[in-house]
Amino acid sequence: MNAKRILSVLLALLTVLGSICITAYASVVPAAAAYEDKVDENGDPKIDYLTKEYKTGKNKLKDMTLIREQNGFQLWYEEFTGEVALVDPETGEGIFSNPYDIAVGNYASKATRQQLLSQLAVTFSYNGVEKTMYSYTDAALLGQINYKNIKNGVRVEYAIGELQTTRLVPRMISKTRFESMIMNNITNEKDLEYVMSFYSLKDPYDVKLTESLVKEMQAAFPVTKKFAVYVCETDISAKELKRIEDIIKTFCPLYTYEEMEQDHNDCDYVSQDVAPPNFKMAIEYTINETGLEARLPANGIRFDESTYTLKSITMLPYMGSGRGSNEGYSLIPDGSGTLIRFEDIQGQTYNVSGQMYGSDYAYHSISGQHTEKMTMPVWGVVETRETEVKVGVGPSATTEKVESDRGYLAIITEGDSMANLMCENGGKIHIFNNVYPMFYPRPSDSYNLADSISVGSNSSLTVTSSRKYAGSYRIQYILLGTEFENGKSYDATYVGMAKAYQEYLEGTGAITQLKKEDVQKDIPLYVETFGAIQTTDRVMSFPVTVDTALTTFEDVKTMYNELSEAGISNVNFRLTGYYNGGLNNTYLAKLEWEKVVGGDSGFKDLLSYATEKGFGVYPDFDFAYQRLADWFDGVSEKKHLVKSIDDRYMSKREYDAAIQDFESAMLLQFPQQYTITSMLSSMLTILLTALRAFPYQHSVQT
Amino acid sequence: MKKAIRVLLVAVCLLMVFTTPVAAAAPYQTYTYSSTGFVLTSPDAYVPDKVVDGAIASANFGELRDMVVDKDGNVYLVDATNACVHVLNKYYRLTRTINSFVNEQGVPDGFNNPSGVFVNDQYIYICDTDNNRIVLFNHDGEFVQTVGKPESNLFAEGSIYKPVALAVDSYGRMFIVSSTTYEGVIVMGIDGSFYGFIGAQKATVTAWQAIWKFISQNAEDEETVTSTEYNNITIDKDNFLYVTTNSIDEAAQQNAIMGKDKGGTLAPVKKLNASGTDVMTRNGFYPPSGEVKVSTSATSKIQGASSIVDAAVGPEGTWSIIDDKRSKVFTYDNQGNLLFAFGDTGSQVGSISTIKAVAYSGNDMLLLDKDNASFTVYRRTEYGDILISALESQNLRLYDKEVEGWTEILKRNNNFDIAYIGIAKAMSRDGDYENAMEYFRVAYDSAGYSDSYKEVRKEWISKYFLIIPVVIIVFLVLVLKFFGFAGKKNKAVSLKVGQKSVTEEIIYAFHVIFHPFDGFWDLKHEKRGSVRSGFLILLATILSFFYQTVGTGYIHNSAELTSDSLYLTLASVAVPVMLWIVANWCLTTLFEGEGNFSDVFTATCYALTPLPLVIIPGTFCSNFLTAEEASLVSMLTTIGFLWAGMLLFFGMMSTHGYSFGKNIVTILGTIVGMIFIMFVAVLFTTLLSKMFTFVYGIIDEIQYRM
């Protein structure tokens, strides 16, 4: 008895505590509206997101929920679509994860608008067929987007694709049981009608049926030889199943999962459903000083790996998109950087894409045109938008249209090497222009099977890396044209973007500002010289391969002398191809200066001369590539060479202007730590001399 | 392969040196070819300046088919979609659109699928393709007249006339390319009178087709041979026509390029004179037919020979052709030397998706991009300017200025062989033959080298005139003395009984070559020779061929020597000899031949004796002979081979004791036998290598999987 009393007290306490917790939670998020508020009783959104016109960001925010205010920014969230916006409370403008004005003057189709409302697109393959799912159609419309408050922001969880849950809906049930357990219990006329619309009766004793029809039925449903059954429609959607389940649960409390199992067994029903594709992942948005950080933890991605192959994840494809009808431009890090002006490409569907940092030479085939590399993990969009600003106070206040420049700079701060950068200009498809990353969590490569012995055909096989990326994809969005809490701001121009990136790099310690004493009056001149190369020569009229010097150490001295005579004093030489075979070097296991360029003594001589005269000499050592194999160079192909996804040795490919394709250029290998260390110790003395000869601070990077 | 890598590396280095400053400007690499077919990177001669599309020209561009530029810089664009010709001024702004007119009958008329345009001082000529006519306008855009299909019984019955391109010479004759006419270029006056066809493109027949035709002997099969037609035409100021075609069999076209064919049959671009004769000079390393290094791999996106679709005449005798497969432009001088090639597909400014036409506008080059409905203006660089000015000086015979220009070119591109040749020619004109030889040699111009060498030799001969007869006399005396000695020795040895020494056996060869009948008889029956001396003679022959390989003068063998060429020489001598011996022995054993294997070997080797005797002096002399005198050496060598062949014939006859007729039969049989052995050997090695690759593949595969 006592025990029971204690238990009940505890339970009561727990209830009280629980309610306090809920209240406390609610106080943090005062307007914590739920997903349920956004949908009607049918599960359809109350707002027609595809056609509702929001002329300004402020209008859009009226339908969103304020999640957090911090650093002078407001973070807003839309419960149905999963949209997120970071705005400056003063202007109501900021960065929206999806354009708020998709319905304003946009000619995009319904499917395109659904894509424009997505924060994620997942491309996967099933049985070799690739398919892409978008978060709006495959998560929002299914009610599979949830959010949680986290420190400094919000975590939006997606389940993209239909969830496979066993619903309490019998797929096949005998007529008698269906009638007694379910049909008779549903008292609501409307609900019964709804349920019955999905069930069809298969009754062999039906007098209206002809003999052939009965036979046909018995062939399709063998159980009907024994008794009549009700069969549920096979292509019933998840939403419909949920609604039927709700009805059954409400009206037939006696019908349980065990009962359903029993019915399925009785009817010999075996589920033939393949688990539908479903990808669970989350994006965490956090506010920081300069804007918003979005992070997608890669190890939190869950899906049925035995059935589906995840190809790529497109993250926030329309975050901060520019309107093509406005003035503005996109910046992409293509080569030295490219600005694509909206007005130049208005109405044209113009897409540029590129792998971050260029091609991966560990791939079998490197295709594509001669393009510039995506050199830095940054991009941005700037545009001039018309906003309405209230002028005056009180009833005499009027609104005036003011043009203001807005934009953002995005930096991939994690997972950049797995990214493909896409620059999309809607053109004829939609009105927006944006740049976004596409991440490949597991690199996959295909190779031609004709190369291997097992088959003679020309078919290719796709191999996926066995390693999985366990980090995150992290993007920092820096707002331009907005004053931050600390009073700083970046202009909404490409100069502002450059400034923002510079300060970001400075913050990470990647670059440091030069001090006044570091800046020299003399601009340094860098000269790259080439050492030796093999040529064919005739010795006693017989062809032999000999090393030929291109620029000897003595030549370097002469070059310096002539340059200094001409009044150029701050000269630095980068010596390329001076050791182990020259420009076609073998692996650097042991350093041997080429004899034809002056040899060991020649280099020492050059160093002492450089120290005396005060010019820089930077020998260039290549630890990553070897062009020629040598006996006893300590290179084990198996151990050191870079291998492709199917363990074949790979070489660096270079673009051949004549055949317009990538051609193998040289062997590629890992810079093995131990080889470098051993090499360094063996030539420590010589390097130390070299370092002393450098007039400026220089670090040997290994 | 090593060499390829090396050359590539040098090229890469040069690329770094030269093109870094402009790398951002042009999304392509400009290059030329070396004499051995390596790509040599070059500074850009043209860099993209701007892209002119409909928006910039303030016009509505549809499918653009053709583009020409008149002497005032106006651009004429043929638009098939809008059935019109856009006329842009030299600032690339639309000034006029010619799309409709009132024809001779006073009826409003328009174009139907126009494809080509030509402009001269008088008229604008428009190919109204699907209306089968040419329409003439004056420069105010007013309609002048239409010229319909020419009436002539030379046209095949029911033939269709579809003019796609035309050119008009300074006499007003129209040269029309019709896409459905295979007889050549149609020549007609603007009054519609037909003058004839010129420059019919010969139908190309692949080797297989030729064999099939030969075997089948069936008249119907002639239909399978495809005729080729021209696709474009342009004219230079001297009324020479440049016609292009892309319907030559691709493999045949590429083989002609790789074979350095100087003929025009398989050339996709021809320079025709008014009577239709191909007068193109093809003096470059490779014929001016577009891309040289092409991929044949099934996985490459661009394969096979160039598809040439348009030509344009540039300044100073240069001309350019475009390849619509590669989106590239190849520019040549009037000698057919490749000056530069550039272009690539892609989306950057300067890349072209589908190239359709090329035109020169002053110093600029215009390339039409069909896919993007735009054209790109390329600006000539400093390098291009120097190149053209050097060619100008060459054409004007301002030699000093020309050398200056080439020197400037070499400062920027030291792989440019035409510059070396230009300088070498100037040097030889100045009498500096020794240096000229060096420059010619660097540029792989063995003809120029030979001419300079001739002068150097002339000087030398005039200096040492007396030495030459002395050397010849001494040489002849020594030869006579040697043969006298050999004759005496051989006579003495004939009396000797028993084993002969090696020297005696070898000296006997000098008897055999002059007295084959009794010589070979004694060789076998009197044991005047043996296998060991035969082997020594074979060795001497091989060594003399080695000497020929490495020691022939540069003029007569300009190919670069590699270590492989020695192995090739060894194989080309030893393998046929051994095959002969084996095949002959096998056959004669069956045909009652008296000689055994060692007899056949010895006799064959002795028959080779004349070869070293002619090859060694011939090779030595080749170092002092010019290109015109090369026939001397080759005649000497031919004599040697005939002599050896004759010896072989009589040697076999005496060795086997055959009659003349039977000997002929067995020798023919031996040749068949050799072919048979070769066939079996090839079959065997192929099978073996297949097996080897299979086993190797398995091991490889296992290794990868471990």
By Cβ distance, the residue of A371, A533, A541 closest to B9 is A533
Do both A585 and A657 map to the same domain? Answer: yes
A292 and A185 fall within a common domain? no
Structure tokens at A566: 């001409």
In a domain, A398, yes or no: no
Query: B419 with B402: CB under 8 angstroms?
Result: no
CA distance A249 to chain B (A): 55
Whether residue B703 lies inside any domain: the answer is no
Is A447 or B94 the better-scoring residue by pLDDT? B94
Whether residue A474 is found in the same domain as residue A563: no
| pLDDT score of B9 | 41
The answer to whether the Cβ–Cβ distance between A371 and B346 falls below 8 Å is yes
- State the residue for tokens 């001399």: A689
Report the Cα B418 to chain-centroid distance in Å: 17
Task: Find the domain containing A313 and state its range.
Answer: 57-162+279-324+408-441+466-508
Hey, what amino acid is at B441?
A: R
Determine, for residues A541 and B9 on separate chains, whether the beta-carbon distance falls below 8 Å.
no
Task: Output phi, psi for B410, to 5 deg.
Answer: -65, -30
Question: Residue A565: pLDDT above 80?
Answer: yes
Asked if pLDDT for residue A127 goes beyond 80, the answer is: no
Cβ contact (<8 Å) for A369 and B351? yes
**B336 with B400, same domain?**
no
B348·A542 Cβ contact <8 A: no
Put simply, whether B550 touches A (Cβ < 8 Å) is: yes
Give whole-number Cα distances, A174 to A222, B617, B640, in Å.
Answer: 13, 109, 106
A584 to chain B: closest CA residue: B6
pLDDT at A68 over 80: yes
CB contact under 8 A, B698 and A458: no
Tell me how far CA of residue A172 lies from CA of A74, A241, A272, B491, in angstroms. 52, 14, 13, 118
Mean pLDDT of A537-562: 88
Average pLDDT over residues B48-76: 91
CB contact under 8 A, A458 and B298: yes
Asked if B300 and A371 come within 8 Å (Cβ–Cβ), the reply is no
Helix-helix angle B630-656:B610-622, to 10 degrees: 170
**Is A657 within 8 Å of B31 when comparing Cβ atoms?**
yes
* B38 shares its domain with B169: no
Task: Tell me how far apart the alpha carbons of residues B643 and A651 are, in angstroms, rounded to a whole number.
Answer: 55
What does the CA dihedral B30, B28, A530, B407 come to, rounded to 10 degrees? 30
- Please give the residue that has the higher pLDDT: either B431 or A401: B431
Is B604 inside any structural domain? yes
pLDDT above 60 for B399: yes
Question: Mean pLDDT for chain B?
Answer: 87
Q: Does residue B19 sit within a domain? A: yes
Average pLDDT over residues A202-217: 82
Query: Can you tell me which residue has the tokens 């069936």?
Result: B218
pLDDT, tens only, A453-466: 445 555 666 777 77
B515 shares a domain with B428: no
B194 and B232 share one domain: yes
Examine the domain organization and report whether A71 and A125 are in the same domain: yes
Residues A105 and A182 reside in one and the same domain:
no
* Mean pLDDT for the stretch of residues B187-192: 90
CB A479 within 8 A of CB A95: yes
Instruction: Please tell me what DSSP assigns to residue B147.
Output: E
pLDDT of residue A363: 79
Q: How many Cα atoms occupy the beta-carbon half-sphere of B179 within 13 Å? A: 15
Task: Please check whether residue A307 lies inside any domain of the structure.
Answer: yes
Best of A537, A659, A666 to disrupt the B interface (most B CBs within 10 Å) is: A659
CB contact, 8 Å: B54 with chain A?
A: no
Q: What is the DSSP letter of A617?
A: E
> Which of A238, A266, A294 is where one domain is finished?
A266
Question: A458's torsion region: left (phi>0), alpha (psi -120 to 50) or beta?
Answer: alpha
DSSP letter at A641 equals: B
B9, B29, B346 ranked by CB distance to A584: nearest: B9
CATH number of the domain to which B135 belongs: 2.120.10.30
User: Which SS3 state, helix, strand or coil, does residue B296 take?
Assistant: coil
Name, in order, each residue with C-beta under 8 angstroms of B603's C-beta and a sequence gap of 6 or more. Answer: B520, B523, B524, B534, B595, B648, B651, B652, B654, B655
> Chain A interface, mutation test: which of B2, B6, B8, most A Cβ atoms within 10 Å?
B6
Are residues A307 and A202 part of one domain?
no
Give the CA count within 13 Å in the CB-facing half-sphere of B344: 24
- 3-state per-residue secondary structure call for B387-421: HHHHHHHHHHCCHHHHHHHHHHHHHHCCCCHHHHH
Which residue of A lies nearest to B13 if distances are taken between CA atoms? A530
**The predicted structure's pLDDT at residue B173:** 92
Within-domain flag for A448 = no
Instruction: Give per-residue pLDDT as tens, B328-365.
Output: 999 999 999 999 999 998 878 889 989 999 999 999 99
Q: Which CATH number covers residue B458? A: 1.25.40.10
The reported pLDDT for the residue numbered B704 is 62
Least trusted range by pLDDT, from A15-29, B106-120, B497-511, B608-622: A15-29
Looking at the structure, tell me whether residues B40 and B133 fall in a common domain.
Answer: no
pLDDT at residue B144 is higher than 60: yes
**Mean pLDDT value across residues A384-390:** 74
Extended strands (E) in A88-207: 94-96, 120-126, 129-134, 145-150, 153-160, 172-174, 199-202
**pLDDT score for B605:** 94
Q: How far apart are CA B98 and CA B80, in angstroms?
A: 12
Tens digits of per-residue pLDDT, B221-276? 444 444 568 999 999 999 999 999 988 888 889 999 998 888 888 899 999 998 88
Question: Is the residue at A663 inside a domain?
Answer: yes
Which of B28, B298, B562 is the closest to A657 by Cβ?
B28
Whole-number pLDDT of residue A10: 63
B19-28, B158-167, B504-513, B656-665: the lowest-pLDDT one: B19-28
State which amino acid sits at residue B322. I
Three-class secondary structure assignment of A284-338:
EEEEECCEEEEEEEHHHCECCCCCCEEEEEEECCCCCCEECCCCEEEEECECCCE
Range of the domain at B215: 45-380
pLDDT in tens, A605-658: 998 999 898 888 888 887 777 777 777 777 777 777 777 766 777 777 888 888
**Contact residues, chain B, for A659 at CB < 8 Å:** 293-295, 300, 302
**Region A196-218 average pLDDT:** 84
Shared-domain flag, residues B53 and B171: yes
Average pLDDT over residues B587-611: 90
Of A335, A543, A627, the CB nearest to B562: A543
| pLDDT-above-90 percentage for chain A | 27
Q: What is the CA radius of gyration of chain A?
A: 34
Residue B301 near chain A (CB below 8 Å): yes
Are B655 and B600 in contact, with CB atoms under 8 Å apart?
Answer: yes
Q: Tell me the sheet residues that pair with A283.
A: A156
Which residues in chain B are closer than 8 Å to A454, comparing Cβ atoms?
701
Distance CA A512, CA A506 (A): 6
CB spacing of B346 vs A458 below 8 angstroms: no
**Same structural domain, A591 and A686:** yes
C-alpha A66/C-alpha A76 separation (Å) is: 4
Whether A87 and A74 have beta carbons less than 8 Å apart is answered as yes
Q: Residue A105: which residues within 8 A CB-CB, separation 6 or more?
A: A325, A431
Share of chain B above pLDDT 70, in %: 92
The answer to whether the CB atoms of A646 and B294 lie below 8 A apart is: no
Give backbone dihedrals phi and psi of A575, rounded to 5 degrees, phi first. -95, 110
Report the pLDDT averaged over residues B368-393: 94
* Nearest partner of B598 among B516, B532, B662, judged by Cα: B532
Band the pLDDT of B95: cuts 50, 70, 90: very high
Helices (H), A577-646: 599-613, 637-640
Residues in contact with A132: Cβ distance below 8 Å, sequence separation at least 6, in sequence order: A121, A122, A123, A124
* Chain B CB contacts of A458 below 8 Å: 298
**Which of B7, B299, B349 has the highest number of chain A CBs within 10 A, making it the mutation to test binding with A?**
B299
Res. A667 pLDDT band, cuts 50 70 90: low
Let me know whether B58 and B39 are in one domain. no
Whether residue B527 is found in the same domain as residue B635: yes
- Residues of chain A contacting residue B6, judged by C-beta atoms under 8 Å apart: 533-535, 584
Mutate to test the interface with A, among B1, B7, B18, B29 (most CBs of A within 10 A): B29
pLDDT above 70 for A1: no
Judgement on whether residues A182 and A76 belong to the same structural domain of the protein = no
Task: Give the end of a domain, one of A488, A508, A528.
Answer: A508
Strand partners, A285: A154, A294
* pLDDT cut 70: percent of chain A above it: 84
Instruction: Tell me what pLDDT residue B24 has.
Output: 46
pLDDT for the residue numbered A585? 80
Q: Give residue A154's pLDDT.
A: 94
Angle of CA points A352, A355, A360, to nearest 5°: 145
CA distances from B473 to A36, A67, B467, B479, B660 (A): 118, 112, 10, 10, 41
pLDDT of residue A239: 75
> pLDDT digit string (tens) for A498-530?
999 999 999 998 888 888 877 777 788 999 999
Q: Residue B696 domain-assigned?
A: no
Same domain, B372 and B425: no
Q: How far apart are CA A308 and CA A300, in angstroms?
A: 16
Backbone angles phi, psi at B31, to 5 degrees: -155, 165
Query: Do residues A152 and A181 both lie within one domain?
Result: no
How many structural domains comprise chain B?
4
DSSP A477-506: EEEES-B-TTS-B--SSHHHHHHHHHHHHH
Closest CA to A143 of A159, A167, A119, A123: A159
- Residue A11: what pLDDT? 60
Please tell me whether residues A295 and A244 are part of one structural domain.
Answer: no
Q: Are residues B119 and B226 in the same domain?
A: yes
Q: With 50 as the cut, is the pLDDT of residue B326 above it?
A: yes
Around Cβ A342, how many Cβ atoms within 10 Å? Answer: 23
* A617 and A683 share one domain: yes
- Counted across chains A and B, CB pairs separated by less than 8 A come out at 99
Q: What is the pLDDT of residue A28?
A: 40
DSSP-derived letter for residue A356 is B
Structural domain contains residue A330: no
Give mean pLDDT, residues A90-102: 86
pLDDT beyond 50 at A673: no
* CA A584/CA A17 separation, integer angstroms: 76
Domain count, chain A: 3
pLDDT, position A693: 40
Are B89 and B216 in the same domain? yes
Name every residue whose Cβ is closer than 8 Å to that of residue A582 and which is 6 or more positions away in sequence: A531, A532, A533, A534, A547, A550, A594, A596, A597
A554 and A504 inside one domain: no
For residues B205 and B305, state if they share a domain: yes
Closest listed residue to residue A227, CA positions, set A259, A263, A262, A203: A203
Cβ separation A584–B31 shorter than 8 A: no
- Taking CB atoms and an 8 Å limit, are B345 and A336 in contact across chains? no
Final residue in a domain of this structure, among A226, A241, A266 = A266
What are the beta bridge partners of residue A294? A285, A475
Please determine, for residue A16, whether its predicted confidence score (pLDDT) is greater than 60.
Answer: no
pLDDT at residue number A208: 80
Q: Do B24 and A336 touch (CB under 8 A)?
A: yes
Alpha helices in B86-243 (DSSP H): 207-216
Residue B694: the pLDDT is 85
